[in-house]
Amino acid sequence: MKTVIKEMFASNVCNDATLKKLMSKKAFKRYQTLKLNGEELDIYTARNVAKAIKTWALKNGATHYSHWFMPLTNKTAEKQVSFIEIDSKGHLIEDFNEKSLIKGETDASSFPNGGSRMTFEARGYTIWDYTSPVFIKSDSFGNKVVYIPTAFLSYNGIALDEKTPLLRAQENLSTQAVRILKMLGNKDVKKVTMSLGAEQEYFLIKTDAFNKRFDLKMTGNTLFGANAIKPQEMCSHYFGMIQDDISGFMNEVDNILWKMGITAKLQHNEVAPCQHEFVPIFNTVNIACDQNQVIMETIKNVATKYGYTALFNEKPFKNINGSGKHANWSLDTNTGLNLFDLKQKDKLTFCTFFIAMIEAIDRYYKLIRLSCSYRNNDLRLGGDEAPPTIVSVFASDFVLKLIEELDEKNDINLKKAILDVRVRSLPKTEKDFCDRNRTSPFAFTSNKFEFRMVGSSQPVSFPTTCICSMLSKVLSEYADELQNNCSRENIVKFIKYRFNQHKKIIFNGNGYDKSWAETAQKRGLVDYKDGLSVYPTLLDEDIIDLFESTKVLNLQELKLRQTTLYKNYFDSVCIEAKTMIEMVNKKILPNINEYIKSLYSEIKLNDKILKIFEKAYKEIYNNNNNLIKSVENFEKTNTFDKKIDLIRKIMIEMKSLRKLYDDIEIYLPTKYMPFINYNEILF
């Protein structure tokens, strides 16, 4: 019996079940074989798939199709093309063939490319990724477009997107993981896939309030604003009752996503007021990354119908919890084995992959930090609601004991403990093998890792590309070392030795404790405070070797990404600075001046308040002028090192300017407020 959810689920997806009905048995079987083995698509199969997609699309009312891709902008891109063509007799026909499906063309010089494409070098290609399903999106007017997930490369084959490196990294990880698994006796394993579940946090702000804040409109962050009267700890928002209009919004988001085959599973209120979280079921990493982009776009679009604006920026409100995108991931074999599941029978397999991951993070922790480093996320990381900027791994004492007790002969029989609730009417409940450590940037949670540093607005593709590349590099070294002697005794001895060499990255304590910074420094772990500190490491010899040896990114692709990272950081800070200057000149100073005039006109002059605001006016005026000069100097200079120094100077000046206003906002009467405050936005 079909339920409402089953009826609608994947109704807007051209999945294998749909293709099977529309393709010949021979063509569909060929298509399935190619997908399973990750082989190159041939023209015969592509032609049959294109024909099936066309039939399905037109039947479902689609009028256009789009090669949908993820350039280095943190957003998706698309070019919509109608199905209409003119035949040789001048008649209108509906056409969509294998050429339309496989390859599209777009301007490669207009997207971020790190200088690899000049204006006159415009040609770029979008190439169909047949591992990710084709789907239909409908807009609010009922128009339907077929979206074809694609990779985006330059005319010279340089990856200009988020998808291409991830596909490369995933293929290599599978190859190296299979090598290790065969040595461990898993002869039937042919493929290993990274699975991903990305928890998506976001804010919903009333659109009326959003439109009254110039800074939110221009940057997604509030650049001024004193703390709200009611602290977030007192509002009981976390897992609280979901109000009716928010519930309606969430339900509509679920329905739209279910139709597109996205497994919307969990939704709830988050810690901060107006903050919420959306969680899907795990999926293959490539599909999960695509779907996360659709999730964010859907949340943003549906929010407007309910009078809200969705904010995905990591730190839209100072001293209020920021938003992350917790990337929960694991490794699955084609035989159904989760390699990071503590319940699996063969603990040697678990320990081998777990230790390889520990080594990968210890050797390349700077890359882990870099993968999540950009202006907005730097404002979030290090706060008491986000992981610290120091990369570490939570492994739990249980796992450490398991590794210690692993020997050459015996497997360890794990038994879960029972939770003692001391109430007879409550059923017995098993405890998990591991606790959860929310202060850890990279935490193991019994059957997966939770990468908590990922920012809420960024695509999760690059962080997972880095994880795949790091792990495959270490696994390839393990396989090379063990290939001549893969006895259990030798494997146990080898992985324990590697573990002892790299266990310094493990920290099971409170990541917010200031003493951890001192401990980490003694262990030789560098604390990269921001993106500007860690970006240079992308061209370190070990990082270049990592990406080139795994064939994920070559030197040119790394250079263009580094250039793009710097440019995005510079642009973000400058936009914030210019927005602050505009707000000070047109709102803050005029309103303070009017309030000062009103104080002079009062019969009973309040000298104390008057002095506070006269002093504040002068300091804000002077600091704002300094900020103006710094921005002008930044835009004039062509020296890279000077640009970095000036951007740091601008960030310091912005922080000082904000404090000057925030300190007096609480004294400013409502009549003279330059914009609505946190109390009005959040409550």
What is the per-residue pLDDT across 459-468, written as a single tens digit (0 to 9) for each?
999 999 999 9
Q: Could you tell me which of 222, 199, 198, 197 has the C-alpha nearest to residue 311?
A: 222
Average pLDDT over residues 451-476: 98
Contacts of 48 (CB under 8 A, 6+ apart): 23, 24, 27, 28, 31
Question: Looking at residue 372, what is its pLDDT?
Answer: 97
What does the pLDDT look like over 146-201, one tens digit per residue?
Answer: 999 999 999 999 999 999 999 999 999 999 999 999 999 999 999 999 999 999 99
Distances (CA, A) of 527 to 285, 390, 438, 502, 590: 29, 5, 19, 17, 42
Amino acid at 251: N
| Region label for 573, one of left (φ > 0), alpha (ψ between -120 and 50) or beta (otherwise) | alpha
What does the pLDDT look like over 264-308, one tens digit per residue?
Answer: 999 999 999 999 999 999 999 999 999 999 999 999 999 999 999
| ∠ Cα 538 520 384 (to 5°) | 90
* Residues paired with 159 in a beta bridge: 153
The two tokens of residue 613 are 């605001």
Q: What is the b/e burial string over 75-85, where b = at least 16 CB atoms within 10 angstroms of the residue's CB?
A: ebbbeeeebee
pLDDT at 548 over 70: yes
Long-range contacts of 101-110 (CB under 8 A, 24+ apart): 101/46, 101/49, 101/50, 101/53, 101/128, 101/148, 102/41, 102/46, 102/127, 102/128, 103/127, 103/128, 104/67, 104/79, 104/150, 106/67, 106/69, 106/77, 106/79, 106/152, 108/152, 108/154, 108/155, 108/160
**CA atoms within 13 A of residue 172's CA, in its CB half-sphere:** 26
What does the pLDDT look like over 617-633, one tens digit per residue?
Answer: 999 999 999 999 999 99
Hey, what CATH topology would domain 567-682 get? Four Helix Bundle (Hemerythrin (Met), subunit A) (1.20.120)
Average pLDDT over residues 102-131: 87
pLDDT at 603 over 60: no
pLDDT band at 433 (very low <50, low <70, confident <90, very high): confident
Average pLDDT over residues 380-393: 89
pLDDT at 244 over 80: yes
pLDDT band at 410 (very low <50, low <70, confident <90, very high): low
pLDDT at 43 over 60: yes
pLDDT at 335 over 80: yes
Q: Could you tell me which of 155, 154, 137, 134 has the C-alpha nearest to residue 145?
A: 137
Provide the residue count of the chain: 683
* Phi then psi dihedrals of residue 221, to 5 deg: -120, 155
Average pLDDT over residues 584-603: 91
pLDDT at 76 over 60: yes
pLDDT at 256 over 80: yes
pLDDT at 409 over 60: no
What does the pLDDT look like over 556-568, one tens digit per residue?
Answer: 999 999 999 999 9
Q: Is 324 helix (H, G, I), strand (E, B) or coil?
A: strand
Give the span between the Cα atoms of 141 and 510, in whole angstroms: 50
Return residue ranges of the chain for CATH 3.10.20.70: 4-160
Q: In this prediction, what percent of the chain has a pLDDT beyond 70?
A: 98
**Mean pLDDT computed over every residue of the chain:** 93
| Region label for 17, one of left (φ > 0), alpha (ψ between -120 and 50) or beta (otherwise) | alpha
Return residue ranges of the chain for CATH 1.20.120.1560: 567-682
Q: In this prediction, what percent of the chain has a pLDDT beyond 90?
A: 80
Contact assessment for residue 668 and residue 595, using Cβ atoms and an 8 Å cutoff = yes
What does the pLDDT look like over 48-65, one tens digit per residue?
Answer: 999 999 999 999 999 999
The two tokens of residue 47 are 């032609």
pLDDT at 408 over 70: no
Hey, what CATH topology would domain 4-160 get? Ubiquitin-like (UB roll) (3.10.20)
Architecture of domain 169-553 in this structure: 2-Layer Sandwich (3.30)
Contacts of 192 (CB under 8 A, 6+ apart): 173, 174, 177, 178, 181, 331, 332, 333, 334, 339
What does the pLDDT look like over 77-106, one tens digit per residue?
Answer: 999 999 998 888 888 878 899 999 999 999
Helix (H) or strand (E) holding 136: strand 134-138
Average pLDDT over residues 402-428: 78
Place of tokens 């795994």: 550
Contacts of 552 (CB under 8 A, 6+ apart): 165, 168, 169, 172, 465, 468, 469
Give the span between the Cα atoms of 264 and 262, in whole angstroms: 6
Question: Looking at residue 422, what is its pLDDT?
Answer: 86
